[in-house]
Structures are given as structure tokens and as C-alpha cells.
Structure 1
Amino acid sequence: MGIVDSGVDIHHPDLKHNIISPGKSLVPGVSSMVDEIGHGTMAAGSIAANGNITGVSPEVGIVPYKVFQGYSADSSWIIKGIIDAANDDMDIINLSLGTYKSLKNKEDRATYLSYMRAIDYANKKGSLLVASSGTDGYDLTTPKKLAEQMGLKNDLQLHMPGGLPNVVTVSATNLNDQLAYYSNYGTNVDIAAPAGDYGPNFADQQKVELEYMTITTHPTTLPQSELSQYMGFAHGYEFMIGTSLAVPKVSATAVLIIAEYQEKYGKKPSPHVIKRYLYGGTVQGNGTTRQLGNGIVNAKNSLDLVNKR
């Protein structure tokens, strides 16, 4: 699986055996693959952690594609990462990231078309793209409506790559199987996955309840948070929330579908077939199709569907 993100801590005890290639940096002038912000390592842990915590598919091989410089990732680097991952025969490309672009801006339209071409290219190469819906609580259904929510009158905005055709777009749910307060949603959301929030008393009382959050891997090269220390965690684990942690759970389930399908039928399923099992195995959450798409991902149900054929 290709993880297009900020890099992955290749020495993390829960991940080091899953990294099958050092990967590559798509950031101009940057050759280091060190995860300097932790984002890619968090996503990787939700997919493949195999140690103190366990990801959804702990045996999967992962390859990092670095597209962040600090906390910024240029769309051209992400697009190149998608193409390179497809050329490297990555079955799944995890994109726990996203941006907004205006259809009324010439440069933004060019970026949109470049994303569309990269997505089409990856799909034709047999790679399934799984991407975040975003974390601003917006309805992505129409460019006009999205622009209005962003306070941009007379504009047309799109979220990408999540939200575009032929990408599995993922929203986030909380402990009660509801849409997380921060998660974007809309008719272009395909599926939901658990990612946590701060609990039911956060909005009114600003009270954070840890049992509503998620735990995942974090680079051992970065400082440990006070919260992690207070909880007695070993260095390299943190509490987190966000659609960035929902996406990898769907990506990991898709990898399991591929492995099960190959074992049963002796060939790799197409992205279309993977999506059929992915969506067919979902469970109903406490929300609408606009919020949760086809439902909340469920790996066991999807694998059972493969074996029922």
C-alpha cells in the first residue's frame, strides 16, 4: 500500500517490519523521508500497526510517498505521488489529506484537471484511491454550496482529491456511530469509518473525554505530548482524532479484501470489484447517506462477502 503523506517513522517498533521500501520524496529539494510532523505515521498506524497497538491489516506492506514540507503539501507533489504510487503497482493509495480549489480560478482549474487525470491513470493501473472528505464540517455536495459555506460568494469550490469521481471518499464517525462534528460530508462521500472526537460535552463545556478519541502511532523521533506522558504511554503513541484516521481504516479493509479475493479466486480484483465488497460490507450508522455514504466500514462483513461468492 502506498501512503501519500508526510513520511512514516521507519524505526517505529509497531511499523518497522511493515515498511517494504523506504519510499520517495516528491518535495523538490528534499530527500529525507523523516516524518517531521507525525501525520503519515499516524495514518500508517491505523493501517498496519503490529505491536503495542494493532492496525486493521497488521500484515500489510507499506510504502511512504512524502508530499509534505512542514505542514504544507502542494497539489503538484500530491499528484506526482499518486502517479508514482500507481507506477509502483500500489494496490491501494491512502490519501489522508485534501485541499479546496476554485473552479473560477484558472490555476485552480488546471490543478483540478491534473487531479482528474492522475486519478484516472491510477485507476487504469489498478490502484484504488482512498481519500479524506476533510475536517471543516462542510457539505461538499455542490461547488456553489461549498463556496457559500466557506464565505466565498459567487464562487465554485471543490474539495480534492477526496470528493472527486473514482476516489473512495471517507467521512469520520464518533464513538456513537454518528458523523463526527468536524467531518465534511455530502452526496460525494462514499463510506465512513471511526476516527473519534472529543466527546459529547466538548461543544458546550470544552471538556475533552479521552475515551471518545483514538490512539495511534506517532514518530519516536518527535517529542512525546504531555497527555501521552500523563497516560503512561510509551514514546510513539498519541491520542488523535480526524478524517485522516478514518481513511486508513478503509484503505486497510480494501487491502484485506484484495488478499482474500486473491486467495479465493487466484487473481487481483479490480478497483470496481473492491468497492463493491467494501460498500457491501458496511454497517448502518446513526446518520444519513449524505453523512455516512454507504455506511460504516466493517472488515469482517466485507471478507465474509468475498467468501460467499
Structure 2
Amino acid sequence: MNNKAIELNNQYEVWRWDIDKVTNNRESYKIQQGNHKVKVAIIDSGIDQNHPDLKDNLISSKSFVPGSKSLEDSLGHGTMVAGEISANGNVKGVAPKIAIASYKVFDGNDCNSIWVINAIIQAANDNMDVINLSLGTYKSLLNKNDLAMLLAYKRAIAYAQSKNCVVVSASGTESKGMDISNPFNLAQELGHEKDLGIYLPGCLPNVITVSATNKDDKLASYSNYGYNVGIASPAGDYGPNWTTQKIANLKYMALVTYPTNLPQSQLSSSIGLKQGYEFIEGGTSIAAPKVSAAAALLILEYNEKYGFKPSVLEVEKLLYDGATPGAEGSNPLYYGKGILNVENSLKLIGK
């Protein structure tokens, strides 16, 4: 692994192949690493406010769970997502100096769409530059209540975009990825006959929807896909021998930040990692925040070059124009415009 851009040849960073891929072996750090003038909202399960790799970039935390003021991340999901964006310690994220804000919308494993919608609106009012949504829900286009929720999501996201806020969503993770761009087929995959399905918010307009790829630049088997996908980003899996032989390869998995107050897995402990770091299979939840971090860096670099922020559409174009083809070529069903490459996109500014 070529890490000439930075001195990070330690027992943690050697596992961060996914960050190496999107930053071109950290070459993007030479152009832009971020600062607290640009902010990313993480709408998720909370965050470990004391994590040594995250606490210096965390500017605020809020709970949108009714009756609960707890900001603790009891699932670990939000802390994982945050590390992909702006970890800056034993591991580094795509934007290691960018500001992050936590908007908690999980009560245990439960996440109510109304809480998410309220958090999106609040993040826009808080002048967040990017909103990361590593979450989602399936709804029916034939259900009156679901249609009301769809409209509420659309209005919240349109409001965020009117405030020049980039909204990034995961495409969704399942045991076997599904095509979320075909409502009829999606409903069949979900076991709902004579229905039309939709995945929110990843199927909506004004959202950059992200699919997940593995170490070989192929669409991960668990990743939802479809023509709604704008771009792909690496997140990992168990490796090429998992499906046929059930043999996992650690080098294909993703190392993520994890709450320091939650039990450490035997795997991470046996390798000698401190509490607060875990290996996971991946997921579109880990792919999306890399794109959110890239969007934040592009906003900052553009502002430093021209003296004003780019529009949401300009940020999208820079992301898409800098993307590289996947292993199956430029298949828009799987990759959208291609796989995220932060350095390529940053270099487009000023050309």
C-alpha cells in the first residue's frame, strides 16, 4: 500500500483499503483535508462523543427521539459512519479535518421516519452543508399513509436543497441486493404481491444515492442498486470465497470506528486493536459517508478557490465527473456515474 502522502503505516491504517481507494492512496489529502467552516450532518444512531478519533471534529449532538435526551450511540452505527467521514487519530476518514454534527434518530433498533424528516429540516436550518443518511425504509406507492410519508420526505429534502445543502443517501443493504428503481419488481422481492415498492430516501430526487462496492471494485452482493444510484463507493465484504466456501478474508472487510463503551469483538481484540475499532462486512451505510465527506471537501475547495459556495448541482457534477469505472465497466445500474475518486474530483475545480 502506497501511503507516500502521509505517514500512516500503523496497525490500524493498513486495513483501511477503502479509504485508500477513494482518496487515491491519500493523495487527495495533499489538496484538501477540510476544516470546520464546512459541516456534515450525520442523521443516525448517535455518536460516541468521547471517541479519540472523532471528538475534535464533533461540533454538536442532538436527539430527535421523543422523550429521550440521550445522545449515546448504543448501536454503534452512527459512530461507524462518522469515522468514514472525519476520523482523525489511529484511523483517518476521507475528510479528517471536516466538522461533523450528530442528529440521533434511533431509539434502540427503531427509527421513525418522522424523526428522520424532522432531523433533515433541523440540519438544513442549522446551515449544514451536507446531510448524510445511512438509513432507509421501504414503503408502498399504493398505501395512503406511505404516500403521505413519501411527500413529507420529498418536502424535507427539497427544503434542504433550497438551503444549498447536499443530501446523500445509502441505496440500502440486504442479504441480497435489490433493484430499487423498479417499483413492481421491488415489491415482489419484498414479498408483496400486487404492490409497488419504493425505498426512502434513496429513490427520491434531489438525493445523491450511493451503492456499495467491494475491494475488487465489483458491486457488493448485499448492495441495492438501480437507476436511482448516482455514484458508488467502496465498503467491503467477506471476500471472494465467502459465497461458495464460507471462508471470510479479513483483508476484504472494513475497519471502522466503534463506540469505546461497547464490548469489543474477539476478532478486533485478537489483532491487538484498542477498544473503539471493529471489522465489519461493510454495507451501503459505510459507502454513503465517504461520498458525504467528498462533497464537503469539494464545497470547501470550491469556496477557497472562488470565494463562494458551489450549488448542489455543481457538487454533484464534480463528484460524478471525477468517478472511475467499476469492475463491470460503466454500468449505471450498479455504479451510477462510477466509483468515487476524491482526488479526481478535487482536481476538476479550477479547470
Query: Which TM-score band (shorter chain)?
Result: over 0.9
Deviations 1:110-140 (A, max 9, x none): 1111001101111001111000100120001
Cα distance in 1, alignment partners of residues 228 and 327 from structure 2: 18
Matching of residues 196-215 of structure 1 within 5 Å = 196-215=236-255
User: What corresponds to 1:295 in structure 2?
Assistant: 338
- Give the share of equivalent positions with the same residue, in percent: 56
- Gaps of at least 5 residues in structure 2 are 1-39
Matched position secondary structure for 2:58: coil
Please tell me whether residue 10 in structure 1 is matched to residue 55 in structure 2: no
Matched position secondary structure for 1:307: coil
Alignment partner for residue 323 of structure 2, among 255, 276, 282? 282
Deviation (angstroms), 1:151: 1.7
Cα distance in 1, alignment partners of residues 314 and 82 from structure 2: 24
Matched position secondary structure for 2:111: coil
Cα distance in 2, alignment partners of residues 209 and 273 from structure 1: 39
Please tell me whether residue 256 in structure 1 is matched to residue 294 in structure 2: no
Matching of residues 177-216 of structure 1 within 5 Å = 177-216=217-256
Report the residue type matching 2:301 in the other structure: E
Alignment partner for residue 29 of structure 1, among 67, 73, 76? 67
Matching of residues 1-309 of structure 1 within 5 Å = 1-21=40-60, 23-136=61-174, 137-240=177-280, 241-287=282-328, 288-308=331-351
Deviations 1:194-246 (A, max 9, x none): 00001111111111111001111000011111111111111100112111100
Runs (4+) of structure 1 exceeding 4 A deviation are none
TM (norm. structure 1) is: 0.98
Deviation (angstroms), 1:307: 2.7
Deviations 1:64-107 (A, max 9, x none): 00000111111000011101100100000000011100111111
Cα distance in 2, alignment partners of residues 161 and 227 from structure 1: 34
| Number of residue pairs the alignment of both structures matches | 307
Report the residue type matching 1:152 in the other structure: H
Cα distance in 2, alignment partners of residues 247 and 33 from structure 1: 22
Cα distance in 2, alignment partners of residues 298 and 164 from structure 1: 24
Deviation (angstroms), 1:191: 0.3
Deviation (angstroms), 1:162: 1.1
Report the residue type matching 1:239 in the other structure: F
Cα distance in 1, alignment partners of residues 262 and 349 from structure 2: 41
Report the residue type matching 1:15 in the other structure: L
Matched position secondary structure for 1:28: coil
Cα distance in 2, alignment partners of residues 58 and 71 from structure 1: 29
CA RMSD in angstroms, aligned pairs only: 0.7
Report the residue type matching 1:262 in the other structure: N
Report the residue type matching 2:236 in the other structure: G
Cα distance in 1, alignment partners of residues 325 and 57 from structure 2: 32
Cα distance in 2, alignment partners of residues 9 and 141 from structure 1: 35
User: What corresponds to 2:10 in structure 1?
Assistant: none
User: What corresponds to 2:5 in structure 1?
Assistant: none
Report the residue type matching 1:276 in the other structure: K
Deviation (angstroms), 1:289: 1.0
